[in-house]
Amino acid sequence: MSEIPLPQAAKRVVPWWLLRHETMLAMILLIALIVLGGFNNRFLTLDNLLNQGRLTTEVGLIALPMTFIIITGGIDLSVGSIVGLCAILLGYSWKIFGLPLPLAICFSLLVGAAAGFLNGIVITKVKVPPLIMTIATLALYRGLAEGISQARSVRGYPEWFYFVGQENLFGVPAQLWLLLIAIVVAAIVLDRTTFGRTLYAIGNNETAARFSGLPVDRVKLIVYTLSGLMAGLSACVLVSRVTTTRSDMGIGYELDVIAAVVLGGTSIFGGVGTIWGTVVGLAMIQLLKNGLALTGVKGDATIVVIGTVLIFSTLVASSLQRRREGV
C-alpha cells in the first residue's frame, strides 16, 4: 500500500510494522483478551475460544470477499439477504422439489453466485452505484426469500449434513477449517496475484486503472459474484449449525461484516486494506460479543457496541489517514 519508507521514518525509534493498523489492533485484541479473561474465568478457555470461532465462521466467510469489494471502493449491503435467500432455497429445493441434499447445496451456492453476479453486472454495465444497487437487492433478495418461504421453516435434515455446523475435525470445529482455508486463499490472492493488486489499483484510482489497461469491469464482476457465492456458502454452514431454515436468516449480517472489515483497517474510501486486518477485526467483534455476553450484557446491547465501534474506527482511521497525508 502507501507505506513507502520515507527518509524521516528511518530515524524513528519505533519500527514501522509496530505502527501498522493491524499490529495495533492485534495488540488491543490481546489486551482485551486478558482483561475479559480476568473478569470471567470461563472466557479464556480453549473450549470457549474454539466455540467463538465456530460462531464467527458465517460472518467471516462473507467478510473476506467484502474486504475485496471495499478495497475497490465499492460496498455490498445485500449479503445478509443473499444468506436468507440461499438458506430458503437450500431447504426448499431439498424438501419441496425433492433434490438430493448435495445437489440442493450446489443449487443454493449457484443461486448465491447468481445473486452476486446480478449485483456485479448492473454495477459494471449500467454503472449503478454499488450502494444503491445492493440496497435494491437487499430488498429484492429478502423479498424473494419471504415470498418463496411464506414464513414457513424447513427442518429435519439428514444427520450427516450437521457435520460441518456442529462437529469437530481434529479437535477444531469443522467449519473453522473452511474459514481458515478461505482466509489463506484470500490473503494469497490479495497479496500475491495480479488480480489482488488490481483491486488496490481500482480503489486508488479507477480511471487510472482503466487507462492502464486493467480489466476493471471484469475484476469487479468477479468480486461481487464471489461475495454472493460466499454468502451462499455461509448460508449452508449456518443452516447446518442451527438445523433449520427460515427466511429471516442473515438479517443484519451486513453490519457485522462491514464492521469487521472497517475495524480491520480497510478504508471505506477504497485502496487500502488487508485480509489479516479483517481477520483481526472479525476476532475483535466476536470476542466483544462473547465477552459482553459473559459479563451479563444482553445480545441486543452488543449491537449497540458494534455500531459504535464501526463509527469510531472509521473516524480514527480517516483522521489518521488525513494526518499521514500531511494536511
* 41 burial via Cβ count (<10 Å: 0-12, 13-18, 19+): exposed
Contacts of the segment 132-139: beta carbons below 8 A, 24+ positions apart: 134/75, 134/76, 134/77, 134/78, 135/77, 135/78, 137/78, 137/81, 138/77, 138/78, 138/80, 138/81, 138/254, 139/81
2 vs 319 by CB, closer to other proteins = 319
User: For residues 55 and 136, which CB has a smaller minimum distance to other proteins in the complex?
Assistant: 136
Residues of span 241-260 touching other proteins by CB under 8 A: 252, 254-255, 258-259
Closest CA to 64 of 198, 211, 233: 233
Q: Is residue 75 part of the contact set for other proteins (CB under 8 A)?
A: yes
Task: Give yes or no for residue 311 binding other proteins (CB under 8 A).
Answer: yes
The burial of 252, by beta-carbon neighbours within 10 Å (0-12 exposed, 13-18 middle, 19 or more buried), is given as exposed
Q: Residue type at 54?
A: R
Q: 131-170: which residues touch other proteins (CB under 8 A)?
A: 131-133, 135-144, 146-147, 149-151
Nearest to 64 by CA among 260, 236, 317, 255: 260
Least Å distance, CB 171 to other proteins, is 35
C-alpha cell at 280: 483481526
Applying CB under 8 A, which part among 10-18, 51-59, 120-128, 169-177 lies near other proteins? 120-128
Nearer to other proteins, 50 or 297 (CB): 297
Q: Cβ of 108: how many Cβ atoms within 10 Å?
A: 26
Which string of b and e fits 64-79 if b means at least 16 CB within 10 Å? bbbbbbbbbbbbbbbb
Task: Based on the shown chain and the rule CB under 8 A, indicate whether residue 114 belongs to the binding site for other proteins.
Answer: no
Interior/surface letters 233-244, b for 16+ CB within 10 angstroms, e for the rest: bbbbbbbbbbee
Q: Tell the smallest beta-carbon distance from residue 325 to other proteins (Å).
A: 13
Asked if 314 touches other proteins (CB under 8 A), the answer is yes
Under a CB-based contact definition with an 8 Å cutoff, are residues 200 and 73 in contact? no
Of residues 194 and 308, the one with the C-beta less far from other proteins: 308
Question: Binders of other proteins: how many residues, by CB under 8 A?
Answer: 49
Using rule CB under 8 A, residue 301 touches other proteins = yes
Options 296, 300, 325, 326; binder of other proteins; rule CB under 8 A: 300
Q: Which amino acid is at 11?
A: K
- Give yes or no for residue 304 binding other proteins (CB under 8 A): yes
* Closest separation in Å from C-beta 275 to other proteins: 20
- Residue 64 Cβ, how far from other proteins at the closest point, in Å? 19
In angstroms, give the least distance from the CB of 306 to other proteins. 6
* CB 268 to other proteins: min, Å: 6
Q: Cβ 140 to other proteins, closest distance in Å? A: 3
Q: Which residues inside 260-299 make contact with other proteins, applying CB under 8 A?
A: 262, 268-269, 298
Residues that bind other proteins (CB under 8 A): 75, 77, 122, 126-129, 131-133, 135-144, 146-147, 149-151, 252, 254-255, 258-259, 262, 268-269, 298, 300-308, 310-311, 314-315, 318-319
